Amino acid sequence: MSRVYNFSAGPSTLPEWVLNKAASEMLDYEGSGQSVMEMSHRSKVYSSIIESCESLLREILSIPDNYKVLFLQGGASSQFAMVPLNIMNKNGKADFVLTGQWAKKAYAEAQKFGECNVVASSADKTFSYIPKLTPDMFSKDADYVHICYNNTIYGTRFHELPDVGDKPIVADMSSCILSEPMDVSKYGIIFAGAQKNMGPAGLTVVIIREDLIGNAREGTPTMFDYKTHAENGSMYNTPPTYAIYICKLVLDWIKNEVGGIEAMKKLNEEKAQMFYDYLDSSKMFKGTVVKEDRSLMNIPFVTGDEELDKKFVKEADAAGFVNLKGHRSVGGMRASIYNAMPKQGVIDLIAFMKEFEKNN
Ligand SMILES: *Cc1c(COP(=O)(O)O)cnc(C)c1O
């Protein structure tokens, strides 16, 4: 067996520890005589899986008691509609910071439900920075403020939260959740598609402050009302059972193999620092993002020559460094170095880039 280093933006690489554990439990989960995939979601054995997934997530992210954790489907993209349906109902208005395509999509979707105000945008420079935000830029009467905390495509991230007063912040954390500790109490809603840092595609995790539940507008489909899922322990209908199980294993891995969320952060910082240090010293490759807003997770870079970019991606692929092609809207390359990318993968990729630089 040989495994590649997979730098995909998502679905993305998973810890080998998790894959091995899942493989060893595939046919018979803890003496139940069944695969987790085959279990009734209402069985005792499955209940213990979803419960420990939630309690591990609460423990690792120190989620306060007045927040609910929901295990949903539909991807982060469904949250672009679910959020306004549920909480854009006092003044029918929301604020958006446009830092990339995912924020733009959330903005476009919310416009179907009310008045959407663009607080700031970094579209003028291909979203290569995070706009400076001051309290006066936000609407007084917005029902919430939407931000995309880590911009998967462009490789920028927020380093601090804007001061928005007492309006709830809704954060799309699809590509950075679990990469470092965070203060959940500063947010109204955090959501993430699992397929970047939490597990396989098919699971969407929502962390929501309780007072924001139960205010869905009339006509909201049952499945799009947070209350439905909060009141039923994410078991109103069949949840994505196997994806939740893998997420639980990923959380086990963070807690017991990595050593917790602080250790996870340290490892992520080491990997990103090595990569950025190399980009800053290279004569061929350069990063596309302003230094102070660089992402820990997604690193876009270019040579400045499209043909050379193509050659690099092709040769890297042949050498076992896959999915390095940049997003079509940025071009060049992008290395997504999520939690599960081992440090050795980054070390080896840098060595490969140095060699490529020497030969070209
Ligand atoms: C991948 C991604 C999405 C889209 O997620 P889906 O689960 O495919 O809907 C949304 N926002 C961000 C920041 C992402 O990285």
Q: What is the pTM of this model?
A: 0.98
Q: Name 334's Cβ contacts closer than 8 Å, sequence gap at least 6.
A: 7, 9, 153, 155, 298, 299, 300, 301, 324, 325, 326, 327
User: Within this chain, do residues 198 and 335 fall inside the same structural domain, yes or no?
Assistant: no
Active site residue 17: no
Alpha-carbon span 162 to 166, nearest angstrom: 11
- Does the CB atom of residue 240 touch ligand 1 within 6 A? no
Helical pair 75-87 and 101-110, crossing angle rounded to 10 deg:
40
User: Within this chain, do residues 275 and 129 fall inside the same structural domain, yes or no?
Assistant: no
User: Within this chain, do residues 250 and 271 fall inside the same structural domain, yes or no?
Assistant: no
Site to probe by mutation for ligand 1, drawn from 104, 175, 195 as the one with most ligand atoms within 8 Å of Cβ, is: 175
Active site residue 102: yes
Alpha-carbon span 168 to 146, nearest angstrom: 9
Kindly state the average pLDDT of the residues 342-348: 98
- Given the residues 95, 172, 225, 309, select the one marked as catalytic: 172
- Does the CB atom of residue 154 touch ligand 1 within 6 A? no
SS3 164: coil
User: Within this chain, do residues 147 and 274 fall inside the same structural domain, yes or no?
Assistant: no
Q: Can you give the residue range of the structural domain that contains 316?
A: 260-359
> Atom of ligand 1 at shortest distance to CA of 194?
7
User: Within this chain, do residues 251 and 267 fall inside the same structural domain, yes or no?
Assistant: no
Predicted pLDDT of residue 329: 86
pLDDT band at 248 (very low <50, low <70, confident <90, very high): very high
Mean of the per-residue pLDDT values for the chain?
Answer: 98
pLDDT band at 22 (very low <50, low <70, confident <90, very high): very high
Percent of the chain whose pLDDT exceeds 70: 100
pLDDT band at 18 (very low <50, low <70, confident <90, very high): very high
Whether residue 6 lies inside any domain: the answer is no
Q: For 135, what's the count of Cα atoms within 13 Å in the CB-facing half-sphere?
A: 5
- Does the CB atom of residue 172 touch ligand 1 within 6 A? yes
Q: Exposed e or buried b for every residue in 244-269, given b needs 16+ CB within 10 A?
A: bbbbbbbbbbbbeebeebeebbebbe
Structural domain ending residue among the three candidates 233, 257, 281: 257
Q: Are 261 and 61 in contact (CB under 8 A)?
A: yes
Total count of domains within the chain: 2
Active site residue 211: no
Closest by CA to 274, choosing from 351, 360, 159, is 351
- Does the CB atom of residue 75 touch ligand 1 within 6 A? yes
**Residue 190: beta bridge partners?**
171, 207
User: Within this chain, do residues 241 and 328 fall inside the same structural domain, yes or no?
Assistant: no
Kindly report each contact of residues 308-316 with a partner whose C-beta sits within 8 Å and lies 24 or more positions away, as own/partner. 308/284, 308/360, 309/333, 311/360, 312/353, 312/356, 315/356, 316/349, 316/352, 316/356
- What does the pLDDT look like over 279-320, one tens digit per residue? 999 999 999 999 999 999 999 999 999 999 999 999 999 999
- Given the residues 196, 248, 265, 325, select the one marked as catalytic: 196
Alpha-carbon span 179 to 246, nearest angstrom: 17
User: Within this chain, do residues 198 and 156 fall inside the same structural domain, yes or no?
Assistant: yes
Q: Angle at CA 189, nearest 5°, toward 188 and 190?
A: 130
Q: Report the CATH number at residue 298.
A: 3.90.1150.10
Helix, strand, coil share of the chain (percent; to 5): 40, 15, 45
Residue 49 Cα to ligand 1 midpoint, Å, equals: 25
Whether residue 95 lies inside any domain: the answer is yes
User: Within this chain, do residues 324 and 249 fall inside the same structural domain, yes or no?
Assistant: no
User: Within this chain, do residues 144 and 184 fall inside the same structural domain, yes or no?
Assistant: yes
Whether residue 4 lies inside any domain: the answer is no
User: Within this chain, do residues 306 and 188 fall inside the same structural domain, yes or no?
Assistant: no
Q: Report the CATH number at residue 158.
A: 3.40.640.10
- What does the pLDDT look like over 140-152, one tens digit per residue? 999 999 999 999 9
Predicted pLDDT of residue 95: 98
Percent of the chain whose pLDDT exceeds 90: 99
User: Within this chain, do residues 21 and 170 fall inside the same structural domain, yes or no?
Assistant: yes
pLDDT band at 1 (very low <50, low <70, confident <90, very high): confident
Whether residue 193 lies inside any domain: the answer is yes
Q: Are 157 and 294 in contact (CB under 8 A)?
A: yes
Structural domain ending residue among the three candidates 257, 292, 316: 257
Q: Which DSSP string do the residues of 338-350 spell out, in sequence order? A: -TTS-HHHHHHHH
Whether residue 2 lies inside any domain: the answer is no
Structural domain ending residue among the three candidates 237, 257, 277: 257
- What does the pLDDT look like over 93-130, one tens digit per residue? 999 999 999 999 999 999 999 999 999 999 999 999 99
- Given the residues 68, 95, 102, 271, select the one marked as catalytic: 102
Residue 99 Cα to ligand 1 midpoint, Å, equals: 14
User: Within this chain, do residues 178 and 306 fall inside the same structural domain, yes or no?
Assistant: no
Residue 30 Cα to ligand 1 midpoint, Å, equals: 33
Kindly state the average pLDDT of the residues 5-20: 98
- For the record, the structure tokens of 349 come out as 């990729």
